[in-house]
Amino acid sequence: MTFSPELEARFARLLESYPQGRQRSAMVPMLLYAQDEVGHVSRELIEEVARRVGVEPLRVEEVAGYYSMLRRKPLGKYHVQVCTNISCMLAGGEEVWEHACRKLGIGHKEVTADGQISLEEVECMGACSWAPAIQVNYDIHHGVTPEKLDRLLDSLRKLQ
Amino acid sequence: MLYNAPSPLEVKVLTRRFGLPDSTSIGTYLANGGYAALEKARGMTPEAIIDEVKASNLRGRGGAGFPTGMKWSFCPRHSPKPKYIVVNGDESEPGTCKDRLLIENDPHQLIEGVLIAALAVGARAGYIYIRGEYRYLIEIMDRAIAEAYEHGYLGNGFDLYTHTGAGAYECGEESALLESLEGKRGVPRIRPPFPAVVGAFQCPTVLNNVETFCAVPAIIRDGASAFADLGTPRNGGTRLFCLSGHVNRPGVYELPMGFNLLRMIEEVGGGVRGGKKLKAVIPGGSSCPVLKAEECDIPMDFDSLAKAKSMLGSGGVVVMDEDTCIVRAALRIMRFYAHESCGWCIPCREGTTWLRKLLQRFHDGQGRKGDIALIGELAGNMLGRTFCPLGDAAAMPTLAFVEKFRDEFEAHLDGKPCPREAVYA
Amino acid sequence: MPDLVKLTIDGNHVEVTRGTLLIEAARQAGIEIPAFCYYPGLSLQAACRMCLVEVEKAPKLMASCTLPVAEGMVVRTQTPAVAAARRSTLEFLLTNHPLDCPVCDKGGECELQDMVFRYGAGESRFAENKIHVQEKQWSPVVFYDAPRCILCFRCVRVCGEGMGVGALGIVNRGAQSEIAPNGGDHLDCDQCGACIDICPVGALTSGAYRYKTRPWEMTHSPTICAHCSNGCTTTLGVRNNRIIRANNRDRSGINGEFLCVKGRYAFDFHDHPERLKTPLVRAGGNLAPASWPEAIHAVAAQFEAAKTFGVIGGSHTTNEENRYLARFAREVLGTGNIDHHRTGDVATLLASGAPLATTADLYTAGAVLILGADLAQQQPFLSWQVRANHRHHGARVYVVTPGPVREDQYAEAAVRGGAEEYGALRDRLAAEPDLVIVYGDAIKGDAVRRLVAFGCSLGIPVKYVALVDYANSRGAVENGLTPDAGALTLPEMLATNLDVLYVVGANPLKHGPGIGGQGPGFLVVQDLFLTETAAAADVVLPAASAYEKDGTITNVCGEVLRLKKAVETMGPKSDLEIMQRIAGEMGAALSAEPRAWTPATDARPDLVWSSRDSLFTSGTLGRYSKLLAAVRA
């Protein structure tokens, strides 16, 4: 597989970050950064990462299936993750989640027909004191209300 | 960045530089006393550093509260193997959002804490494991690490790297974190041996929470007793409490260990939102047994909460008002543990899944008479029998919810819908 | 003097070696602590939590599978708390287990059934939906039914640690965790089936066995695998006079529980439709069925009339048969023209007087040197032994092979040429406490003598294994199936126009030069199938397979192992009985004092050549295993 020069540079740095013979350590970061670029963890990516860190692809499959941020199918260009865990729940996170589902007409880990927006109900994202929180790709938004979510989703639509 | 206004009641030790212009830069850090503790530590013997940390009564801020100095002393300094420092920045305990602020606002404080630990045990490299969702923190941390190299704090015999996780609560458990760091599934290791002896890459390793390392520069700079005296006996210093839920001013506040919980809710958090009555508080993140309102007049330190059969945990104080449905809270927490159970051991894997399904059915109005007892029994059957503490983390709050709020569970019986569901609509 | 630790288990005073795990200490004292994930010989996991026990002064129940014994430890395994923990763990396990025992192959020999029977609750409290996923087929051999899987990870470990293959892994998380194969949706592996046998439940089942029988309907006959030279005991499960499965779960035999694809599944040649059931006699140019008396009479008449003979024996016939054939040739036919296809130079090694290694030595030796052999492909049990020795005892392994082999993964050194490397290797070997040298067919004749001299020069105890191919290749050498001095060798017999060529359990026309000139005046072949050689014969006598007769064979290390008849096939007779019938028909009797016979000490290096079978081939025999054909495809 070919990646951007920036990602290749990151891979090179990652592979140098661990003691000699421990390059397998770079596996999880490589998968996540590669996913950011190519969209999801395909079998091809698994084989590529396996080759680069020097393990059998099955060892990468095991890891890819374990971490909840690694996804085996493409999701939307904007992946909207709504936290409904305890602090967010107390602050209305579940209502934000239901609102998002209704508004977009999709459910958990589903993608809008145009492939632009996907939804995921996620566990605690570390924004408890400023709940409810959502994450769009890596951007965290605090104190989200259904109205704020509407504005945010509309702005994402405009960005397309 | 800061996301809530500070409280005048705060005692700012770890957060003292928060809010300064350009607070993440090494210039700001150096101009405000940064790396002075490291200089001081360089003049101390490793034993003296460890003794100082022991004397400070600093206890692990990740949740278990193990004395930090003692943990460092278990690391075999004279082992011929290389030694490593690993920072647990996998902050994932529901209700907890403090490590994020420490890195976001003052990354050099963490680097300095790590460097002092490296001096104490003779480590040659360190890894800051940051949960994958906190991508922006990795960028902040990488910039700070680069600055520390430029200024010669790093690179002279000690290297420091960031390492991103990819979504797994279990990796907050230290041995699971090490597995994850080694490119494996985040499944805990059989202990003993503990990481101090066999840790990262099979080598002796000091592994602490972000906040724990961040407390170290202050301890060395100001002396152990100055830090210890801020708290209560055996519970030194301050800690970052993450106040969330039904309070008027939720936020992260640095308060002395032993700060009274009720006072925290009333005076720091501005009281329960909407003038409602307090029902219950989860005092230290979702795995800590809930306290009823009448149990909340309590000093927030490890020992006092243990005496109350709960835990100080990771500092996540989740406040629930009178309208809160406890069954719904119990369900949401169990959904989390079932989602995060690594699947390694039977009682946790199957127990959390069963309880999740049972609580869902129960909350949906399909509860049966025997279910309440069953919830308690199943949680009891997980308690103390799982491979790692995740099973206990799921069982303990569940047991407390059922024991302390049995009436709320009973109110869900006989096909009745959640009596409090209306308030969320 | 072993370092002993005294402890108390259920009131019994127990003394065990320091470092013993509590679960093993209890077993030694006759106390069973149940466990799923704990498996002797494999890495520890503490995952199933079935083995929790009470240990005095411990704040909670302790996993006995990872707890080393300590002096004065007081352990209780029968308390209400322990019983409750076991009952609860089983209850948890059953929540997502389908309980389809009536249609599960494992029913009747399922460890989960047994545990629930002994330690489980009588009723179920689980009222929620179970997780369901579709069953998957990963190879002709391996099927995986995830809902039945209890995630003990034995399969993952036996494949990775025991076999050194690592074809199985764990994917997903929590209750969705599953076992997964290395090929994405299929298995690229040895197809050994160890994962299936080690599975405590019916999660992994075999394509060869599934839905054919209930386990208690079979009788079980431990015998020796008919394929390679390693001599593994394979316990044949027989129902209605048919072999339904093979395994070695009781760990009888030198191989413990090890079996490769051939030992576990390639018994299916025995009821292949092309199996010869009646004698064939050539009439008018074609082979036509004949009765046994007719065929035996035809053979005896030709034998009595002939002047010159050649006798070719087999590598699968028993020691008793080989000895009989050697004597029949020399004493009845009066010829020293007797040979077989030699696959390794055993003769020179035996003549050298060098110490010989047993299969057990490969598990205990301090170091092993592998010369010119791909053990994992050709000597799978020896490969297992060496790997187990490395894992359990830290044995150091050195490999000198033309290409990469599985042992490279953990070898101290893998040498692929280069004189300097050999020099360094010699120094490292000399520093070992003791050594076993295993060598392939490239080392023969003088090279064997030089190898033994090299071993002597190291100044440490060295033992040797000369690798050979087939179940009784070694027994053929040791029981006289080599020519007398000056007599004809196998290729010479084929090239000479002899009056009679008598082939017992061999297929010399499969490879090699073929028959020279007009060929023998009369060709008699005893075999299971109409092989290339049998097809050219004047009389073909259908022989019993190894699974249809008693006797002994000698494995690659010289260990004599017993065949036990498992099934009866109508029609064929054992080679011994056929030979005795011919002798009887000829009115010949073997003398009480066998004629003195000197085994050929000149190994004739040119006559030693391995068939280079892989795991999925097995000489002529392998062609008649449908399963081997399926996994090869």
Q: Which residue has the higher pLDDT, C457 or C514?
A: C457
Amino acid code (one letter) for C291:
S
> Exposed, middle or buried by CB within 10 Å (0-12, 13-18, 19+), for C191?
buried
CB–CB of B100 and A126 under 8 A?
yes
Rounded Cα distance between B110 and B112, Å, is 5
Confidence of residue C81 (pLDDT cuts 50, 70, 90): very high
B320 at A interface, C-beta within 8 A: yes
CB–CB of A65 and C167 under 8 A?
no
- The DSSP symbol for C68 reads B
Residue C323 confidence (pLDDT) above 50? yes
C151 at A interface, C-beta within 8 A: no
Lowest-confidence range among A58-62, B50-54, B182-186, C487-491? C487-491
C121 at B interface, C-beta within 8 A: no
CB–CB of C180 and A57 under 8 A?
no
To the nearest whole angstrom, how far is the Cα of A66 from the nearest Cα of chain C? Answer: 5
Phi and psi at B307, nearest 5°, equal -65, -30
Residues 89 through 108 of chain B touching chain A, CB cutoff 8 Å: 91-97, 99-100
Phi and psi at C220, nearest 5°, equal -125, 125
Enumerate chain B positions whose Cβ falls within 8 A of a Cβ in C.
Answer: 168, 185, 190, 338-347, 349-354, 357-358, 361, 368, 370, 374, 381, 384-387
Nearest CB to B354: which of C44, C128, C170? C128
Q: pLDDT (tens digit, 9 = 90+) per residue, C580-628? A: 999 999 998 887 777 766 665 566 788 888 888 999 999 999 999 999 9
Nearest CB to B183: which of A28, A68, A135? A28
Judge if the upstream peptide bond of residue A19 is cis by omega within 30 degrees of 0: no
Long-range residue pairs from C212-217, CB within 8 A, at least 24 positions apart, any chain? C212/C239, C212/C244, C212/C245, C213/C237, C213/C239, C213/C244, C214/C107, C214/C108, C215/C107, C215/C108, C215/C109, C216/C108
Which stretches within C173-255 are classed as H helix? 194-198
To the nearest whole angstrom, how far is the Cα of A73 from the nearest Cα of chain C? Answer: 14
Nearby residues of B17 by Cβ (< 8 Å), 6 or more positions away: B23, B28, B29, B32, B34, B105, B106, B109
Confidence of residue B414 (pLDDT cuts 50, 70, 90): confident
Q: pLDDT (tens digit, 9 = 90+) per residue, B252-264? A: 999 999 999 999 9
Q: Give pLDDT, residue A91.
A: 97
Nearest CB to B4: which of A29, A32, A129? A129
Asked if C100 contacts C205 with a C-beta cutoff of 8 angstroms, the reply is: no
Mutate to test the interface with A, among B139, B185, B323 (most CBs of A within 10 A): B185
Residue A38 confidence (pLDDT) above 80? yes
Q: Average pLDDT, whole number, for chain C?
A: 94
Mutate to test the interface with B, among A121, A129, A138 (most CBs of B within 10 A): A129
Residue B189 confidence (pLDDT) above 60? yes
Q: pLDDT (tens digit, 9 = 90+) per residue, A103-144? A: 999 999 999 999 999 999 999 999 999 999 999 999 999 999
To the nearest whole angstrom, how far is the Cα of C105 from the nearest Cα of chain A? Answer: 28
Nearest CB to A86: which of B97, B165, B318? B318
To the nearest whole angstrom, how far is the Cα of B347 from the nearest Cα of chain C? Answer: 6
Residue B423 confidence (pLDDT) above 80? no
Q: Which two tokens stand for residue B328?
A: 């719904």
Q: Give pLDDT, residue B412.
A: 87
Judge if the upstream peptide bond of residue C572 is cis by omega within 30 degrees of 0: no
CA atoms within 13 A on the CB side of C456: 10
C64 at B interface, C-beta within 8 A: no
CB–CB of B163 and A25 under 8 A?
yes
Cβ-Cβ pairs closer than 8 A, A with C, add up to 31
Residues 339 through 378 of chain B touching chain A, CB cutoff 8 Å: 339-340, 342
Which stretches within A74-143 are classed as H helix? 86-90, 93-104
Q: Which two tokens stand for residue B186?
A: 């985040």
Asked if B37 contacts B227 with a C-beta cutoff of 8 angstroms, the reply is: no
Query: B374 contacts in C (CB within 8 Å)?
Result: 125
Q: Give pLDDT, residue C547.
A: 97
CB–CB of A67 and B167 under 8 A?
yes
Q: Which two tokens stand for residue C125?
A: 């409290």
CB–CB of C49 and B386 under 8 A?
yes
DSSP per residue, B181-238 = HTTS---PPPSSSPTTTS-GGGS-EEEEEHHHHHHHHHHHHH-HHHHHTTSBTTB-SE
Q: Give pLDDT, residue B369.
A: 86
Lowest-confidence range among B407-421, C209-223, C313-327, C474-488? B407-421
Beta bridge partners of C542: C527
Cβ-Cβ pairs closer than 8 A, A with B, add up to 149
Residue B424 confidence (pLDDT) above 50? no
**Chain C: touching chains (3 or more CB pairs < 8 Å):** A, B
Task: Give percent above pLDDT 70 in chain C.
Answer: 98
CB–CB of C92 and B350 under 8 A?
yes
Q: Give pLDDT, residue C601.
A: 55
C85 at B interface, C-beta within 8 A: yes
Q: Give pLDDT, residue B422.
A: 46
B109 at A interface, C-beta within 8 A: no
Task: Give percent above pLDDT 90 in chain B.
Answer: 94
CB–CB of A66 and B97 under 8 A?
no
Confidence of residue C515 (pLDDT cuts 50, 70, 90): confident
Q: Give pLDDT, residue C592.
A: 72
CB–CB of A129 and B184 under 8 A?
no
- The DSSP symbol for B42 reads H
Rounded Cα distance between B280 and B405, Å, is 10
Residue B148 confidence (pLDDT) above 50? yes
Confidence of residue B309 (pLDDT cuts 50, 70, 90): very high
For the complex shown, is ipTM > 0.85?
A: yes
CB–CB of B387 and C174 under 8 A?
no
Rounded Cα distance between C352 and C356, Å, is 10
